[in-house]
Amino acid sequence: MTTTHRTASVHLGSDPGAGPQIAVIGAGVSGLVAARQLATTGAQVTVFEAADHVGGQLRAATVAGHRVDVGAESVFTAAPGPLQLLEELGLEEELVGANRATTWIWTERGLRPLPDGFTPAGPSRLGPVLRSRVLSPVGLLRAGLEPLLPASRGGPDVAVGEELARRFGSEVVDRLVDPLLGGLHAGDVRTLSLQAATPQLAALTAKHRSLLLRRRPTPSTGPAFVTLTSGMGTMTERLATSSAGVEVRLGTRISAVTREAGRLRLSVDGQRPIDVDGVVVATSAAVARELLSEGSPVAAATLGELRAASVVVAALAYPARAAELPAIAGGTGILVPSTSPQLLKAATFLSTKWPHHAHSDHVLIRASAGRAGDDRAIELDDEPLIERLHGELAQATGLDADPLEVTVQRWPTTMPQLEVGHHERLATIRSALARDLPGVVVAGAPYHGPGLSSCLRSATGAATTLTTALQETHA
Ligand SMILES: Cc1cc2nc3c(=O)[nH]c(=O)nc-3n(C[C@H](O)[C@H](O)[C@H](O)COP(=O)(O)OP(=O)(O)OC[C@H]3O[C@@H](n4cnc5c(N)ncnc54)[C@H](O)[C@@H]3O)c2cc1C
């Protein structure tokens, strides 16, 4: 239960005459990016972080002496934002591009390559789909009918899986879209919103009668993904230390945001409450719901409707000879459809995918498990979890040695599910906050999706909204 302290409050910032005092709750990438932007407007910004470190889902762990990301692993270079921010933070020298190699799809008949040009928007050419042998002849024929179908009618939001099944047939969705897009979101493509979870695809379907026949931009020759050699957490560490005008308080858990005497009041675990002019809530939706339950019951109730899946990441170090196995030597990883009985959702062969992880002593593999509606992995203890993941990796690749060392990172109710109707829920949250708690905005993955570019867009949008609201209040 949330307790609001009624004791005397304290103020943030040393100079009450300076810019507005703003609290950001959560020092993940979203909170830190919002804080950085707000500070450039002259606001006095303090970021409160419950943990003893910044970064949230950007986190590395050590396995067999190697630093490995056990949260976000890479940045998609085609999406705007993150790459530019990494360069702005002076991290260009740490950037490393992913090697291009096959991504495997797990099928009952063994591993098959993800067809060239297959993206979350479905196939862009049928030749590679035919050669990959993932679809049955009937499924392939059905996919080939796409150019003959009528255009999308627009109208209310639908599930991304529903739209792609209408265009390409169910087999394309179950065998290719589900492991690729469903895997990225740890979700069910039959419930994820076309408009909210895949806005680029929504724009394409609105514009083109056929996704197969549309003219496609020339594919970039550079790497599709990049990462940082010291781990993605360096991004948030650099944000926390290099953003002028931003103070970060670690180990400080906020328990409520309410309105008291015309200002916003933060209740802080074990400390006196703090009064501020503006608040960015950049936590999970579940935490946001608790924080706002007293101040805005309507926003809190709608936040409670935003689901999140639990995922688990295991980083495994195998003897170096594993690098010679054809599946590992020739591929960057495996995607597993949700219809398969496997616990494994995806595996990344780090040593094949990333030049800086090609070690002479070990082969590093990152296995992930858990998705919406499947809590088997998060509920297992480490030992049976590792045994199961290793067994499935061995079955898929022919690995014949046990892992030498394993690190497990659990992410309970972390991967946001942007389900059909998400934009309406977001509009309800925003209008309830504007009415009940003016000066409070929400930012982060639960609202705009889990990709880092979505988080950046969410954070900068929230910071802009708050700046405008504060200017109007003080005009
Ligand atoms: C396993 C995994 C793999 C991923 N891989 C990728 C990838 O390769 N590429 C990609 O683009 N994205 C990836 N993502 C998604 C991406 O990492 C996240 O969407 C993004 O990091 C979320 O950032 P955020 O700031 O919104 O939230 P978070 O990182 O969750 O930050 C929220 C912060 O709020 C703090 N907090 C919570 N409660 C309180 C409180 N009461 N008071 C104060 N602080 C509080 C938390 O401790 C946390 O630090 C991955 C995510 C996971 C879990």
Ligand 1 neighbours, Cβ below 6 Å, are 25-31, 48-51, 56-58, 71-74, 253-254, 282-284, 287, 311, 313, 411, 414-415, 444-445, 450-452, 455
Question: Tell me: the pLDDT tens digits for 308-366?
Answer: 999 999 999 999 999 999 999 999 999 999 999 999 999 999 999 999 999 999 999 99
The C-alpha angle 195, 211, 372, rounded to 5 degrees, equals 40
Please state the rounded mean pLDDT for residues 116-130: 76
Place of tokens 């700046």: 467
pLDDT beyond 60 at 447: yes
Q: Kindly give the distance from the C-alpha atom of residue 232 to the centroid of ligand 1, in angstroms, as a whole number.
A: 12
> Is CATH 3.40.640.10 what the domain over 310-416 is classified as, yes or no?
no
Q: Kindly give the distance from the C-alpha atom of residue 60 to the centroid of ligand 1, in angstroms, as a whole number.
A: 13
Q: Which CATH superfamily is domain 112-207 in?
A: protoporphyrinogen ix oxidase, domain 3 (1.10.3110.10)
Band (pLDDT 50/70/90 cuts) for residue 385 is very high
364-381 as b/e: b if 16+ CB within 10 A = bbbbbbbbbebeebbebe
Residues 303/430, Cβ–Cβ less than 8 Å: no
Question: Tell me: the pLDDT tens digits for 193-247?
Answer: 999 999 988 988 888 888 888 777 666 678 889 999 999 999 999 999 999 999 9
pLDDT beyond 50 at 1: no
- What is the structure's pLDDT at 456? 97
10-55+231-306+418-474 in CATH: which number? Answer: 3.50.50.60
Percent of the chain with pLDDT over 70: 94
Long-range contacts of 58-62 (CB under 8 A, 24+ apart): 58/28, 58/29, 58/231, 58/232, 58/233, 58/235, 58/236, 59/231, 59/233, 59/409, 60/230, 60/231, 60/232, 60/233, 61/315, 61/407, 61/409, 62/407
- What is the structure's pLDDT at 80? 77
How do the domains of the chain map onto residue ranges?
A: 10-55+231-306+418-474, 112-207, 310-416
Percent of the chain with pLDDT over 90: 80
Residues 451/225, Cβ–Cβ less than 8 Å: no
pLDDT beyond 50 at 426: yes
Q: Kindly give the distance from the C-alpha atom of residue 70 to the centroid of ligand 1, in angstroms, as a whole number.
A: 12
CA distance readout (Å), 361 to 14, 235, 402: 53, 28, 15
- What is the structure's pLDDT at 128? 83
Q: Kindly give the distance from the C-alpha atom of residue 398 to the centroid of ligand 1, in angstroms, as a whole number.
A: 34
- Report which ligand 1 atom has the smallest distance to the Cα of 415: 53
- Report which ligand 1 atom has the smallest distance to the Cα of 443: 26
Place of tokens 């932007």: 37
Pairing of strands 362-369, 10-11: unpaired
Site to substitute for ligand 1 among 225, 283, 417, most atoms within 8 A of C-beta: 283
pTM: 0.94
- Report which ligand 1 atom has the smallest distance to the Cα of 48: 43
Lowest mean pLDDT among 6-20, 263-277, 364-378, 410-424: 6-20
Site to substitute for ligand 1 among 37, 53, 57, 226, most atoms within 8 A of C-beta: 57
Average pLDDT of every residue of the chain? 92
- What is the structure's pLDDT at 344? 98
Q: Kindly give the distance from the C-alpha atom of residue 404 to the centroid of ligand 1, in angstroms, as a whole number.
A: 29
Q: Which residues contact 464 (CB under 8 A, 6 or more apart)?
A: 37
Question: Tell me: the pLDDT tens digits for 42-66?
Answer: 999 999 999 999 999 999 999 999 9
- What is the structure's pLDDT at 2? 32
